[in-house]
Amino acid sequence: MKPVGSMRARTMLLVLASASAGWLAHRKFGSDARLPQGADVLADVLSRIESQYVEEVELDDIYGSLADDLVRQLGDPYSRFITESDWEEQRIGVEGDYGGVGLEVVDQDGHITVVAPIPGTPAAKAGVRPGDRIVEVDGESVEGWATDQAVPLLRGKPGTDVRMGVRRMGVESVMAFEITRERVVVPQVPFAALLDGGVGYVPLASFGGSAAAAVRAAVDSLAGEGMRSLVLDLRRNSGGLLEEGLDLTDVFLDKGLEIAEIRGRNSEPEVHRAKTGQAYPDLPVAVLVGRSTASASEIVAGALQDHDRALLVGTRTFGKGLVQSLIPLSGGNVLRLTTARWFTPAGRMIHDQGEGRSERREGAPTILGAWAERPADLSQAPQVTSRGGRTLYGGGGITPDLWTSGDTLTTREAAVVDAVFESAGGEFFPAVHRWAVRYLLDHPGLAPGFAVADEDLEDVHATLAERGLSVSLGEFMEARRFFALRLAGEVAHQAWGDQGRFQRQTAVDAQLEKARELLAQAFSPEELFALAGTPLAEGR
């Protein structure tokens, strides 16, 4: 999904850490630095091509291709040459702050289709809905365009206007919208909820420019509503701005405690510590983690685990312990280069080199659509001791304190789901999205407790069959509970947003339920660890 908007050009550099971006630093190389002999050879070849090749060539394209190939030769998936156009898209995605209309759009059936307007943005206030197809922008037809072509037209300086023509299901004529662009900040915390037992729930989507402040505000609000314990959900958070990760950890640690240490090849180790005292030192906290918990999220999880500040519940994290420098190049291009490793306060290096991947079960999706995992074999894993004397494990990723995989499908259900995704390819999610749009049109006044009927599943199957699905209806229905939950979640999301989908799926979230069950009984962090079977050492 692409967020639609833009942001002013910035000359300052930002510090990043995620599964796809890392530590941003500025490096200045001396003008007298000697180039290796191979660089001279390359320069000679390019000079001859430019001056003597039989046809005129575009050297900028060759330079870009050479730079890209050079970085790929490192064999490092996190190092990359990023063109100016690609960098703008990545920067917006990481920072979550831009000027525009505030839409998430995708290519669907050859149309630029709205997934959802971002709450509170100009598009949301104007009445743009999920499923709307954008067919005109400022009087120019964009039918048949890809999102990459149309998005720049929708971006612009805050305060400027853009006219959109939209086709909506159930409406014959093209609907006209004139929207004034604004500064759009993608919410890092889409919602917060107070669950039974006084347990607060805060999901953090990414570490954008307001992540720490958003979590702090959510915690303060929930505390005002009577919260007595907290779940911080990082299961779908692949990282973002490193400074935000450090600031968020700071919210839960005492001043001066170490958060992470960065070790580069040509520099002294850099230790980051908590700068302010925490506001809720006696608040029991559980952090939900999983295979999509990566980089900046792992910095937070690792520090809170090492200092016995939070109980980690879920499955092993992704395992990205590398740091990248984003180095500005000429022409607006950027070099993302791995330059360091980071370590938890207990000295754990959590980067997964791939040796632990065999422990991930690729064939058994849970009822929520993630991949189930069995606990890793920790017999050979390096061990460290937490601040409170608990045994923690190093190696690939961060091992949770309480391993909870979730409600998995049967072998037959898993086989059917795999077959559907393999056969349907990329058609499954667009079909579900379009079905949910029609469902809401056909069910005005829908209540949150609605049920997905067999005929609804049959309708989705028929749509997929028209697009090449080879799985029969009978087989499809064998995995009914998986597909019904998918449909219900999409309808709830379109009708009531992220919180609506959360409330619809809470009943089958085994990891959240386990954390909530323990937190409802714990009146201190020490009691929480004891209830989980991993008590702190006496006298701590």
Q: Cα(394)–Cα(400) distance, rounded to whole angstroms?
A: 11
Q: Cα(360)–Cα(207) distance, rounded to whole angstroms?
A: 26
Paired strand residues for 529: none
Q: Cα(309)–Cα(515) distance, rounded to whole angstroms?
A: 15
Q: Cα(173)–Cα(171) distance, rounded to whole angstroms?
A: 6
Is residue 328 within 8 Å of 26, Cβ to Cβ? Answer: yes
Instruction: Give 3-state DSSP helix, strand, coil % of the chain, rounded to 5.
Output: 35, 20, 40
The helix/strand/coil state of 434 is helix
Is residue 237 within 8 Å of 292, Cβ to Cβ? Answer: yes
Please report how the helices 480-505 and 454-466 are oriented relative to each other, as an axis angle in degrees rounded to 10.
Answer: 110
**What is the biggest distance separating any 2 CA atoms in the chain, rounded to whole angstroms?**
81
Going from N- to C-terminal start, the domains of the chain cover 97-185, 193-320+344-406+527-531, 411-508
The letter for the amino acid at 187 is P
Which token pair is 383? 């061990």
Which token pair is 32? 């007298």
Point out the catalytic residue in the list 233, 306, 401, 509: 306
Is residue 213 within 8 Å of 243, Cβ to Cβ? Answer: no
Which token pair is 257? 């405690």
The helix/strand/coil state of 196 is helix
What pLDDT does residue 27 have?
34
Is residue 502 within 8 Å of 285, Cβ to Cβ? Answer: no
Map tokens 């958070």 to a residue: 237
Question: What is the per-residue burial (b if ≥16 Cβ within 10 Å, else e) of 153-169?
Answer: bbbbebeeebebbbbbe
- Could you confirm whether 97 is annotated as catalytic? no
Is residue 17 within 8 Å of 240, Cβ to Cβ? Answer: yes
Half-sphere exposure of residue 190: CA atoms within 13 angstroms, side-chain side: 18
The arrangement of secondary structure in 193-320+344-406+527-531, i.e. its CATH architecture, is Alpha-Beta Complex (3.90)
- Could you confirm whether 306 is annotated as catalytic? yes
CB within 8 A of 507, min separation 6: which ones?
none
Q: Cα(455)–Cα(443) distance, rounded to whole angstroms?
A: 15
CB within 8 A of 228, min separation 6: which ones?
198, 199, 283, 284, 523
- Model confidence, pTM: 0.85
Q: Cα(84)–Cα(331) distance, rounded to whole angstroms?
A: 7
Point out the catalytic residue in the list 247, 250, 320, 401: 320
The letter for the amino acid at 506 is T
Q: Cα(27)–Cα(327) distance, rounded to whole angstroms?
A: 7
What pLDDT does residue 109 have?
81
Closest CA to 6 of 121, 101, 98: 98
Closest CA to 108 of 164, 155, 150, 170: 150
Enter the CATH code of domain 97-185. 2.30.42.10
Question: What is the per-residue burial (b if ≥16 Cβ within 10 Å, else e) of 234-243?
Answer: bbebbbbbbb
- Could you confirm whether 247 is annotated as catalytic? no
Point out the catalytic residue in the list 6, 79, 238, 295: 295
Is residue 200 within 8 Å of 194, Cβ to Cβ? Answer: yes
Local mean pLDDT, 10-residue blocks, the chain (540 residues) = 40 38 37 62 88 88 88 92 83 76 88 89 92 94 90 90 94 94 90 96 91 96 98 93 90 97 92 95 97 93 98 94 87 90 94 55 46 69 94 92 83 89 87 93 94 96 93 96 93 93 89 96 97 85
Closest CA to 232 of 304, 317, 319, 306: 304
Which token pair is 75? 């064999």
Centroid of chain to Cα 411: 29
Q: Cα(527)–Cα(506) distance, rounded to whole angstroms?
A: 25
Q: How many CB atoms lie within 10 A of CB 83?
A: 16
